[in-house]
Structures are given as C-alpha cells and as structure tokens.
Structure 1
Amino acid sequence: MKKIFYFSLFFSLFFFGCSDDSPNQNDLESLPIDIGGIQTENSLGSTNAIFGHYIYTPSEYNNSSDEYPLLVFLHGSGQIGNSQTNPDALKVLLWTGPPNMIAQKKWAPKYPMIVASPQLTSGSWNADDVHSFISYLISNYKINTNRIYLTGYSLGGFGCFNYISKYGSESYAKAIVPIAGGGSISSADKYTDVAVWAFHGDSDTSVSKNYSIDMVNAINASNPNTSAKVTIYPGVGHNSDTRTFDGTGMGTESNDYDAFNMSIYDWMFLQVKN
C-alpha cells in the first residue's frame, strides 16, 4: 500500500509539475523541419502590402497545410528606401538582422518561422502601418496567429515599443525584442499580455541604454503577466544588433542585468497567446 501511495505521489508531481512549467509546444513540434527556404523580394507596389518587403517561407511551406510562427523585423534608419522608384533599394534590408542571416545561410532557429522584413520609405515606424502590414501577412500566408513576434534594431527598436504602446493587448504580437531602442514609459500598462526582452550596449551614444532600462523597469512596475527583461552589453556602442540576432553576444553581457542565456528565437517560442 505504501509503495502504491509513493508511486501515485511521484506520478502526480512529475506529470503536473512538467505540464505547468512551460507552454504547450505541440504546434511547433509537429511542423516540418526547415532545411532552407526561400526569401522573396517584393518591391513596393508589387503586392497589396503597405511596405515593400522581403518574405521568407520555410522549405516545406508549400507542401504543408501547417500554420507557422511569424517573425517581423523592423529595420533601422540606415535601411530606409523606396523600392517603387529604385528596385535595388530593398537590398539594404539584407545588411543586418534575420534577413541578413537568411541571405548568409545562417538562419537556423529551433522551429521553422515565416520571416517578414518590411521597408520604410521615410520617417519612422507608425504603429497603424505595422498593424496593417501584419494584417496583410495574416491574410496571405499560413500564419499561426498565436505565435506572432516582433523584433527591431534602433529605429526598429523604437517601432517595436511604439506598436505595443498603441495597441496593447489588441496587438498581433505576443512578444517583442527591441534592440538599441526605447519607448514611452507612460504606456507601460499596455504591456500586460506582451513579453518584452530588450537589448542595449552600455556605451551607445546614439541611443542611451537608459531608454531600454527605464522602459523595462516601467513595464515591470505595472505587473505584466510575463516580467520584462533587459540585457546590457558592457563596452558596446550602437552596434548591439548582430550579436543579439546571431547569439554571439551570449556570455558577454553585464551581470547587473538579465542574462543572455538562450537565443532570442527560443525565448520567442516560449511565448504563445492563450
């Protein structure tokens, strides 16, 4: 009788403990393995999208009825261009971030994702335009709307924060990874349902690290469902993007802030809408 009791106790602790510790990822495990897909260039005006853009679809996308996670990458000011008047303008999007990793054949997240990289023709990232672009993607691609993620560098980092600050729980994104950006601390209560992991170099003279630190602190003071994180690189300036996107910054971060202990993509996969 005593053996039966201890077995039942062990089973209960094991089963329920494991099921509560992490989100269900069966929807990811069932996806076909991506052995290298296609990144397609779509100039402004060639589609109904509000932006010219690159779109990456995994290798088995056309052979499968599965819905895929979506990652949207918002570029910095150096990648602004008008592909409607200059067809080559889109190519500057390949300088950094996921589109660069894809072009260099270094793109290998644990699970396949659709990756969309829009291009501004001028100005900064408008939250309504970002929302419209994601709506276009949902209408035209097989996207798992419970797994939409947003990342951006510099101007794009501000764009990530601005999007959630405007839409809050009505945003498409479940998680954002803003790099060398910042946002309005007065909108911190908009992040209740959105996970945030910000990155910044502590020697950044273009955008102070305090923009990211203050934003994360304000979000956490509003008691979000998932605590916001900020990772700081000592001695790094505004060029904190590549080391974050490709993971080479792991182990070089400051011990005074959140550890860079997993790829940003693995962290994204832990975030899923209910």
Structure 2
Amino acid sequence: MRSEMLVRGVLLGAVLLMPMQLSAGESVADAYESRTVTVTERGEPVEFRYRLLRPATIEPATTYPVVLFLHGAGERGNDNERQLQYFPTWMAEPSLRSRHPCFLVAPQCREERGWSGFDWQTMKAAALPEAPTTDAAAAIAALEAVLASEPAAARDRLYLTGLSMGGYGTWDLAARSPGTFAAILPICGGGDEASAARVAALPTWCFHGESDSVVPVGLSRSMIAAIKAAGGTPVYSELEGIGHDSWTPAYRNPAVLDWLFAQRRR
C-alpha cells in the first residue's frame, strides 16, 4: 500500500457499497448500551456517559476487537446520543456488524471541552501537555472499563479513531499510549509534531480533505512528514476536492475498515 495518495473518486465511489439502515424498528441508540464512568477533576468526581456497541453474537472462546471512537466538536453534550452520528451509526448496520464484529466505545465530550489541547483560532495542535484533558481521561477510563467487564474483548486489537476534534484527540491519546493501540485512524485533525517519534511504529492511516476550510490540511501533512522523519511508514490519504467531511469517504470505504480490523498489536 502506498504511503501517500491523493484520492479523486475511488473512496467516494465506495460509499455507495454500504447501506445505511438498521433492522426494522431499531434506532441507533437501541443498538448501543448506555454506560457511565467516573473520573476526577480538580479533586472532585465527575460522571461521564458513553455508549457501547457489543458484537451481535459472541461465540465461545472467541475474542473481538475494541474500537475507541472520538467524535467531533458538533457532537459534544450530555445526552449520550449525539456522539452516535457518523461512524457509530454506520458500524451498527447489520452488514458491518457481520463483517466486522467488535466492541465500539463511544464516549461523549462535554460542551466547551475537548479531547486535546489546541488553539480554536488557528486550529493548531498545542504541544502535548503532561496530562490529558479530563474528557480524554474519561474516554480512556471508558475503554478500560469495557476491557475489564468484557472477557471477549481482544487486548491485542484495540483501535483508536476520531474525526475533526476527535482527530486531534486520536493523535493526542496515541502519543500518550503508543503501546496500547494496534492501529490508529485519525481523520481531519492535527497533532504535536514533536510527539511524532512516539507513534512512528504504530500502524497509522490518516485522512484529510484537500479543500478542508475548517481544519487546515497542512496539519495532517506536517504530522505525517514528522512521523516519516522519525522512521515511520504511515498511510496518508488526502482527498482531492473534499472539504471538512473526509470522514464519510474514509469510514464508508470497505478497504479502510478491512485494513483497520486486520491490525494486531506487535
């Protein structure tokens, strides 16, 4: 697989290959279990809500991968449903649950908070702080809670992905715990280039729209360049003519998901 590509129509065409409905009468929220996790902020306990999609069927003596999904800024809140847009909705479709059975962890970031530190004016990622944001810590706590409660969760197949604000969060959490994840799929975000060496050995496929007017495409370009300079071999797909929504052609491409779910921690 080429390490860089400027994609014109291949990924967009793949979108049409996957249907967008659940079983009759079932909503996306119905497919996901509602859970909570508690973390500490300024010495006080804070309860966070998240959603969990379990494999439709869990076979004896079989383990299944776990995906941690970080949503974008538009899905922040406390209703524990808004974060189910896009990737979580698509992964709940019967066809994908059959093709890629997994545990999908979807935490919800609070309003006016973020998965990482970055400047909302320049959209540039900040230098990696010593500690993650409280909301990012809650996302990891949710992942750890799922691993502790689900014997069928495969510890060597933990995947991290996110879009926009969640793309920044993906880079941030991956740099903090590069040995935790088997692969990452950051979409239209940005990271701290100084942390690139930490993720150089981590299987990575990064997406960004060439015409993104919200998060500058240069942020992904520079992050990928920094990883390569550190000896990594990330895959980078810059989508020609695509704006901020590069997550639809990325997540709706069967080849991308096949790649992700084929990865195992070394």
* Contact persistence 1:177–1:264 (CA under 8 A): no
Alpha carbons of structure 1 residues 265 and 102: separation in structure 2 relative to 1, 3 Å: closer
Q: Report the AA paired with residue 222 of structure 2.
A: D
Alpha carbons of structure 1 residues 45 and 166: separation in structure 2 relative to 1, 3 Å: closer
1:140 is matched with which residue: 149, 160, 169? 149
1:244 is matched with which residue: 244, 250, 253? 250
* Displacement after TM superposition at 1:182 (Å): 0.9
1:93 lines up with 2:89 in the alignment: no
1:263 lines up with 2:252 in the alignment: no
**Which stretch of the first structure deviates more once superposed, 201-210 or 36-45?**
36-45
**Which stretch of the first structure deviates more once superposed, 183-192 or 109-118?**
109-118
* Displacement after TM superposition at 1:243 (Å): 1.5
Alpha carbons of structure 1 residues 43 and 130: separation in structure 2 relative to 1, 3 Å: closer
Question: Runs in 1 of length 4+ with deviation above 3 angstroms?
Answer: 43-46, 48-51, 102-106, 108-111, 126-130
Deviations 1:17-72 (A, max 9, x none): xxxxxxxxxxxxxxxxxxx89722415469x99631221111222x5342211111
Alpha carbons of structure 1 residues 211 and 69: separation in structure 2 relative to 1, 3 Å: same
* Contact persistence 1:109–1:265 (CA under 8 A): no
RMSD over equivalenced CA pairs, Å: 2.7
Q: Provide the rounded CA distance (Å) in 2 between the counterparts of 1:100 and 1:181.
A: 21
3-state SS of 1:107 partner: helix
Q: Provide the rounded CA distance (Å) in 2 between the counterparts of 1:39 and 1:64.
A: 21
Deviations 1:60-118 (A, max 9, x none): 22x53422111111100011111xxxxxx222123211x11145545256442111111
Q: Provide the rounded CA distance (Å) in 1 between the counterparts of 2:110 and 2:153.
A: 26
Comparing both structures, which one devotes a greater share of its residues to helix? 1
Number of the residue aligned with 1:56: 53
Alpha carbons of structure 1 residues 242 and 105: separation in structure 2 relative to 1, 3 Å: farther
* Contact persistence 1:73–1:150 (CA under 8 A): yes
* Displacement after TM superposition at 1:129 (Å): 3.3
Trace 1:179-194 onto structure 2 (pairs within 5 A): 179-194=187-202
1:76 lines up with 2:100 in the alignment: no
3-state SS of 1:223 partner: coil
* Contact persistence 2:157–2:263 (CA under 8 A): yes
Q: Provide the rounded CA distance (Å) in 1 between the counterparts of 2:92 and 2:62.
A: 24
3-state SS of 1:73 partner: strand
* Contact persistence 1:39–1:102 (CA under 8 A): no
Alpha carbons of structure 1 residues 209 and 166: separation in structure 2 relative to 1, 3 Å: same
TM-score (norm 2): 0.72
Number of the residue aligned with 2:137: 128
Q: Report the AA paired with residue 100 of structure 1.
A: T
Number of the residue aligned with 1:21: none
Number of the residue aligned with 2:181: 173
* Displacement after TM superposition at 1:213 (Å): 1.1
Q: Report the AA paired with residue 247 of structure 2.
A: D
Q: Report the AA paired with residue 49 of structure 2.
A: G
3-state SS of 2:189 partner: coil
Q: Provide the rounded CA distance (Å) in 2 between the counterparts of 1:66 and 1:103.
A: 20
Q: Provide the rounded CA distance (Å) in 2 between the counterparts of 1:148 and 1:190.
A: 17
Number of the residue aligned with 2:163: 153
* Contact persistence 1:49–1:136 (CA under 8 A): no
Identity %: 28
Number of the residue aligned with 2:31: 39
Alpha carbons of structure 1 residues 49 and 73: separation in structure 2 relative to 1, 3 Å: farther
* Contact persistence 2:84–2:106 (CA under 8 A): no
1:67 lines up with 2:57 in the alignment: no
TM-score (norm 1): 0.70
Trace 1:191-270 onto structure 2 (pairs within 5 A): 191-224=199-232, 227-247=233-253, 263-270=255-262
> Gaps (5+ residues) in structure 1?
1-35, 83-88, 248-261
Higher-Rg structure is 1
